[in-house]
Amino acid sequence: MAESKSSDAADPVASKSMMLDGRVAIVTGGTGGIGSAVSKHLASLGARVAVAYIGDPSPALELVNDINSTHSSESQPQPRAIAVQANVSDASQVKALFDAAAAAFGGELHILVTLAAVLDFSYPPLAETSEATYDATFGTNARGTFLCCREAANRLVRDGRGRIVTFSSSGVGSLRVGYSAYAASKAAVEVMTKILARELRGTGITANAVAPGSTASPMFYTGKTKEEAARYIAEAPLGRLGMPEDIAPLVGFLASDAGHWVNAQVLRCNGGTI
State the Rg of the chain over Cα.
19
19's CB contacts (< 8 A; 6+ apart) are 45, 46, 256
Point out the catalytic residue in the list 179, 182, 221, 232. 182
Query: Is 182 one of the annotated active-site residues of the chain?
Result: yes
Secondary structure (3-state) at 175: coil
Rounded CA-CA distance 21/185 in Å is 34
- Amino acid letter for position 82: I
Query: Could you tell me if 111 and 25 are in contact, meaning their C-beta atoms sit under 8 angstroms apart?
Result: yes
Mark out the alpha helices in the chain (DSSP H runs): 12-18, 33-44, 58-71, 91-105, 131-138, 144-155, 171-174, 180-199, 218-221, 226-235, 244-255
Rounded Cα distance, 29 and 115, in Å: 5
Burial environment of residue 57 by CB neighbours within 10 A (0 to 12, 13 to 18, 19 or more) = middle
Contacts of 68 (CB under 8 A, 6+ apart): 79, 80, 81
Region class of 260: left (phi > 0), else alpha (psi between -120 and 50), else beta: alpha
Q: What residues are labeled active site?
A: 182
